[in-house]
């Protein structure tokens, strides 16, 4: 395990609730520089909520979040700006601006960072679109793209500023297997060449195994596994094992009644 000093992001005792729903409970996690940490866990367990805390899009009820040694938990929006310039965020929903072209969406972080030189903007836009296989679509509107293409435009936008940290929320969801694999390779390449720190949220266990240095599983607001891809098979916890193997419990299977309230009511129907 790397040293504590190598943690670029640290969460200490983070708790987040929405009304009575406890999403994150006493979450303590260090994300190490230059590593790819993959977060897995069931739908609704708080993975996106966790990512949003790292750039101040959500605030914890209690606990602290540190970025490169600085406590960012209670920074104002303007104080957060320099942090956000160091972090690329690929949103689960892509979050493209519908009224802006692909090029305008991709260049947005650069413009917000004060880059105005048209030639540089065009060149960087072409570079990152080429990386995701979409050079040539600069003039398209988001509504003219497929879901997978939108995701790749969002990824191009996330890497446009050459961020030190990239937060990927389900980067391969909705992509065909070849595109998904290319995104996995891209995550690996950015890490190898730019020493990017990556936090990848995914349900795609192939992707998780391929890109992860470390795999963390969230369940009921807590970390239930913290291991390497190779170590996953040795985790004894039944919840973790079932998730990794994609195996439902008998109780979950019993809920697949497809409209039959119970065996009893079905029999009644036959008698009638």
Ligand X SMILES: Nc1ncnc2c1ncn2[C@@H]1O[C@H](COP(=O)(O)OP(=O)(O)OP(=O)(O)O)[C@@H](O)[C@H]1O
Residues that bind ligand X (CB under 6 A): 18, 21, 23, 41, 43-49, 92
265: partner contacted, choices Mg ion, ligand X, none (Cβ within 5-8 A by kind): none
Contact 167, 90 (CB under 8 A): yes
31: partner contacted, choices Mg ion, ligand X, none (Cβ within 5-8 A by kind): none
Return the range that interacts with Mg ion (CB under 5 A); candidates 19-27, 48-56, 185-193, 207-215.
48-56
Decide whether 47 or 151 has the Cβ nearer to ligand X: 47
Decide whether 47 or 210 has the Cβ nearer to Mg ion: 47
38: partner contacted, choices Mg ion, ligand X, none (Cβ within 5-8 A by kind): none
Q: What is each CA distance from 246 to 87, 138, 252, 272, in whole angstroms?
A: 32, 39, 12, 40
Decide whether 66 or 219 has the Cβ nearer to ligand X: 219
Q: Which of 35, 36, 37, 48 binds Mg ion (CB under 5 A)?
A: 48
45: partner contacted, choices Mg ion, ligand X, none (Cβ within 5-8 A by kind): ligand X
Contact 201, 224 (CB under 8 A): no
Q: Supply 164's token pair.
A: 């030190």
Decide whether 110 or 212 has the Cβ nearer to ligand X: 212
Nearest residue to Mg ion, using CB? 48
Return the range that interacts with Mg ion (CB under 5 A); candidates 29-37, 46-54, 134-142, 150-158.
46-54
Spatial separation of the C-alpha atoms in residues 197 and 33, rounded to whole Å:
5
Decide whether 161 or 218 has the Cβ nearer to Mg ion: 218
Binding status of residue 202 toward Mg ion by CB under 5 A = no
Spatial separation of the C-alpha atoms in residues 135 and 153, rounded to whole Å:
10
Q: Indicate left, alpha or beta for 56 from its phi (over 0: left) and psi (-120 to 50: alpha).
A: left
Contact 155, 178 (CB under 8 A): no
| In the complex, least distance from residue 50 CB atom to ligand X, rounded to whole angstroms | 7
Spatial separation of the C-alpha atoms in residues 88 and 82, rounded to whole Å:
12
Among candidates 181, 191, 110, which has minimal Cα distance to 148?
181
Contact 2, 9 (CB under 8 A): no
129: partner contacted, choices Mg ion, ligand X, none (Cβ within 5-8 A by kind): none
Site size toward Mg ion, by CB under 5 A: 3
Spatial separation of the C-alpha atoms in residues 166 and 91, rounded to whole Å:
11
Within 10 angstroms of residue 72's Cβ, the number of other Cβ atoms is 18
| In the complex, least distance from residue 92 CB atom to ligand X, rounded to whole angstroms | 6
Decide whether 247 or 260 has the Cβ nearer to ligand X: 247
Among candidates 102, 118, 87, which has minimal Cα distance to 197?
87
Spatial separation of the C-alpha atoms in residues 215 and 212, rounded to whole Å:
6
Binding status of residue 197 toward Mg ion by CB under 5 A = no
Decide whether 57 or 100 has the Cβ nearer to Mg ion: 57
Applying CB under 5 A, which residues contact Mg ion? 47-48, 92
């Amino acid at each position: 395990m790397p040293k504590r000093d190598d943690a670029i992001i640290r969460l200490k005792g983070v708790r987040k609730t929405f009304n009575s729903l406890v999403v994150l409970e006493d979450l303590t996690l260090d994300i190490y520089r230059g590593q790819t940490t993959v977060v897995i866990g069931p739908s609704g367990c708080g993975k996106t909520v966790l990512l949003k805390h790292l750039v101040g899009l959500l605030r914890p009820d209690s606990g602290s979040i540190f970025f490169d040694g600085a406590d960012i938990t209670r920074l104002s929006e303007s104080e957060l700006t320099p942090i956000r310039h160091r972090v690329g965020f690929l949103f689960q929903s892509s979050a493209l601006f519908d009224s802006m072209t692909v090029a305008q969406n991709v260049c947005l972080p650069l413009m917000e960072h004060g880059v105005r030189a048209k030639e540089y903007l065009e060149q960087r836009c072409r570079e990152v679109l080429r990386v995701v296989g979409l050079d040539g679509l600069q003039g398209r509107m988001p509504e003219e793209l497929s879901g997978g293409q939108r995701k790749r435009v969002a990824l191009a936008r996330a890497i446009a500023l050459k961020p030190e940290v990239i937060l990927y929320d389900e980067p391969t969801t909705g992509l065909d297997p070849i595109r998904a694999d290319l995104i996995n390779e891209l995550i690996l390449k950015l890490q190898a060449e730019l020493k990017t720190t990556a936090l990848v949220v995914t349900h795609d266990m192939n992707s998780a195994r391929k890109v992860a240095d470390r795999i963390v599983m969230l369940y009921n607001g807590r970390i239930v596994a913290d291991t390497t891809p190779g170590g996953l098979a040795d985790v004894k916890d039944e919840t973790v094992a079932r998730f990794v193997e994609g195996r439902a419990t008998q109780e979950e299977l019993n809920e697949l009644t497809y409209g039959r309230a119970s065996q009893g009511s079905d029999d009644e129907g036959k008698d009638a």
